Amino acid sequence: MGSVAAGVAASHPATARTGVRILEAGGTAADAAVAAVLACCVAETIYTGIGGGGFATYFDASSGEVTCLDFFVAVPGLDDDRKPEPMVAVDVFFGGLPQIYSIGGASVAVPGVPAGLGEVHRRWGRLPWPEVVAPAAGLARTGVLLPAAHAQTLRSCAPALAYGEGAASYQPGGRLLESDELLFHQGLATAMDALAVDGPEVFYTGEYAELMVATVRAAGGTLGPADLAGYRVAEVPVDHATLAGHQVCARHDLNRTVDTIGALPADLSRPGRATGVAAALRNLGAQRRGDTTNVSVVDPAGNACVITTTLGLGAGVWLPGLGINLNSMLGEGELLTDQLVPGQRMSSYMCPLVVIGSDGALTVAAGSAGASRIRTALVDTLLGVLVDGLDVTEAIARPRFHAVENTVHAERGCPPEELEALRAAGWQVVEWPELNHYFGGVTAVGQAGAAGDPRRGGVGLLL
């Protein structure tokens, strides 16, 4: 196999272009990924933002070392000086069925995105920090066009996104934004400029920390100064599994993606593998909407940086005058897996990963959106590239199936013989009429190109 071309894959054209622009300026994969994620915080606010959390996986081509960083949200309450007020219940329509989510101040956990991006840049960046932040600040000044796939998500999530101050951005004049209309957040450029000058600390101990605490508490939450000042990015262990002679490396996520890859059947030829893959992917948890986004970057030296971030649905609690929505992670039912201890990280399905060939060189850098479907989307994409010989565009775009308890949900176009084998093995099969963003949103850069997921308006650009 040849080497991976330098490139960027993301879920918005402006995000991908930002990453490429930084690579062209001589930035590393880390510089480009940080700049692209900051662009996400302007262009993809339906999925993510400065007020969210995430994870990064970095591959150093010279040493072959893989590092995973956790900058997901933390449970607030270290100040221990108040009790949360009730959350705000909203109905979100997902697959035509209403699901109740909880937003408001009490749903806000400690954000990790600014700290995480700062740490990725500190470890592996080359360009000056202000230069990495500048493209996102520029996008925030002008606003960005809303892709059709994002407009579809907005329609489903409007009760949360257009709640309170969010209405000004997502529902100007009382009408929800449509495809190719301008998404603009008043004040977000001011926040990005401050981030460029003062660094991530501006949100933790600087001028915006006090504002964040006051805003969340006024909305009924418990976030306090000790929560922000005590937040730290954590380096976490790397899981490894072998797939088709390649090493897959990622953090240990709530869905145990790497363990699942290790448990795939030995014979991965189609259509016989369908039942074994479905059994490995069987998900017993509740199926909730996942509003997440991912950026995958490879630089000319062969380094890779993959960053996945999320806001949940967004709390509908906005930092006044700064155009920043805060996360709603404490209202995400499927993530509340443990007793919530102040200062501890919350659980997440996010799993940015890299795949390394037998020669020690990078083969694929990939991540996905989609909550509990992240594992399904990534496993199917890797099977496509590593086993079926597809390029990343074909592997991401082909129909996928997702197993929940005793049911397989299959997108239109899944091979009939595979669905028949699943039925014969006792699975109930529900066929969806189209490709749907329920099935995740992969972005990947690999030896066969760069691609974003058509389910999420994704884009892949090579340098």
- pLDDT on residue 336: 54
Where b means 16+ CB within 10 Å and e means fewer, 5-29 reads bbbbbbbbbbbbbbbbbbbeeebbb
Q: d(Cα 201, Cα 295) in Å, to the nearest integer?
A: 23
First to last CA, the chain: 19
Least confident of 55-69, 278-292, 353-367, 372-386: 278-292
Q: Cα separations (Å) of 145 from 21, 78, 110, 151, 405?
A: 19, 40, 29, 10, 39
Reply yes or no on whether the pLDDT at 55 is more than 60: yes
- pLDDT on residue 1: 46
Q: Per residue in 161-182, pLDDT tens?
A: 999 999 999 999 999 999 999 9
CB atoms within 10 A of CB 96: 6
Q: Per residue in 368-409, pLDDT tens?
A: 998 889 999 999 999 999 999 999 999 999 999 999 889 999
Across 405-424, average pLDDT: 95
Helix ranges restricted to H, 44-147? 113-124, 129-142
Q: d(Cα 428, Cα 44) in Å, to the nearest integer?
A: 35
Reply yes or no on whether the pLDDT at 213 is more than 70: yes
- pLDDT on residue 56: 98
286 band by pLDDT with thresholds 50, 70 and 90 = low
Q: d(Cα 316, Cα 404) in Å, to the nearest integer?
A: 30
Reply yes or no on whether the pLDDT at 325 is more than 90: yes
Reply yes or no on whether the pLDDT at 462 is more than 70: yes
Residue 190's contacts (CB-CB under 8 Å, 6 or more residues apart) are 321, 322, 323
Across 231-254, average pLDDT: 97
Query: Would you say 29 and 58 are in contact if contact means Cβ atoms under 8 Å apart?
Result: yes
Q: What share of the chain has pLDDT > 70, as a percent?
A: 96
Taking each helix axis from N to C end, the angle separating 113-124 and 129-142, rounded to the nearest 10 degrees, works out to 140
- pLDDT on residue 454: 95
Least confident of 40-44, 139-143, 259-263, 338-342: 338-342
- pLDDT on residue 282: 87
Q: Where are the domains of the chain?
A: 7-462
Helix ranges restricted to H, 13-171? 13-24, 29-43, 113-124, 129-142, 148-161, 167-170
Q: What share of the chain has pLDDT > 90, as a percent?
A: 88
**Domain 7-462 belongs to what architecture?**
4-Layer Sandwich (3.60)
Write down the pTM of the prediction.
0.97
The identity of residue 93, as a single letter, is: F
SS (H, E, C) 198-255: HCHHHHCCCHHHHHHHHHHHHCCCCCCHHHHHCCCCEEECCEEEEECCEEEEECCCCC
Here the tokens at position 219 are 């909305």
Q: Cα separations (Å) of 336 from 111, 234, 286, 372?
A: 16, 20, 12, 14
CA–centroid distance for 331 within its chain: 18
Expressed in percent and rounded to 5, the helix, strand and coil fractions of the chain are 35, 25, 40
Compute the mean pLDDT over every residue in the chain, rounded to the nearest whole number: 94
SS3 category, 421: helix
Q: Per residue in 93-125, pLDDT tens?
A: 766 667 888 999 999 999 999 999 999 999 999
Q: d(Cα 260, Cα 293) in Å, to the nearest integer?
A: 22
Here the tokens at position 423 are 């039925």
